[in-house]
Chain A
Amino acid sequence: MTIATIDALSPELVPGRGGGGPAPTRTVVAYGFWLFIISDITMFSALFAAYAVLSGRTADGPTGSELFNLRHVFIETMCLLLSSYTCGLGALSAERRQRDRYLVFAVLTFVLGAAFLYIEVSEFAGMVSRGAGPSRSAFLSAFFTLVGMHGAHVTAGLIWLTYMMAQVVAKGLRPRVLQRLLCFSLFWHALDIIWIGVITVVYLMGAP
Chain B
Amino acid sequence: MHGSDRPYDRTPGVENQESTANVLSYTVGLGLAVLLTIASFVVSQTNLLWPPGIPVGLVVLAFAQIGVHLVFFLHLGTGPDHTNNILALAFGLLIVFLVIAGSCWIIADLNANMMPMPMNMPR
Contact = CB atoms under 8 A, between A and B. Distances in A.
Contact of B21 (A25, A48, A88, A190): A88
B123 A89 contact: no
A44 B65 CA distance: 18
Interface in B23-64: 23, 26-27, 29-30, 33-34, 37, 40-41, 43-45, 54-55, 58-59, 61-62
B73 A178 contact: no
Interface residues of A, number: 64
B19 A95 contact: yes
Nearest to B25: A88
Interface string B74-97: 100000110011001101100110
A57 interface: yes
A81 B66 CA distance: 12
A189 B66 CA distance: 10
A59 B7 contact: no
A205 B55 contact: yes
Contact of A197 (B43, B62, B85): B62
B22 interface: yes
A84 interface: yes
Contacts of A200: 40, 58-59, 61-62
A199 B66 CA distance: 12
Q: Is the interface of B mostly helix, strand, loop or mixed?
A: helix
A149 interface: no
B6 A92 contact: no
A50 B100 CA distance: 8
Nearest to A44: B96
B41 A17 contact: no
Interface residues of B, number: 56
A194 to B, nearest CB: 10
Interface of B: 6-10, 12-15, 17, 19, 21-23, 26-27, 29-30, 33-34, 37, 40-41, 43-45, 54-55, 58-59, 61-62, 65-66, 69-70, 73-74, 80-81, 84-85, 88-89, 91-92, 95-96, 99-100, 102-104, 107, 122-123
Interface of A: 3, 6-7, 11, 14-18, 22-27, 30-31, 34-35, 38-39, 41-42, 45-46, 48-50, 52-53, 57-60, 70, 74, 77-78, 81-82, 84-85, 88-89, 91-92, 95, 175-176, 178-179, 186, 189-190, 192-193, 196-197, 199-200, 204-205, 207-208
16 contacts: A11-B7, A24-B8, A24-B12, A38-B91, A59-B122, A84-B30, A89-B26, A92-B22, A92-B23, A176-B13, A189-B69, A192-B33, A193-B66, A193-B70, A197-B66, A200-B62
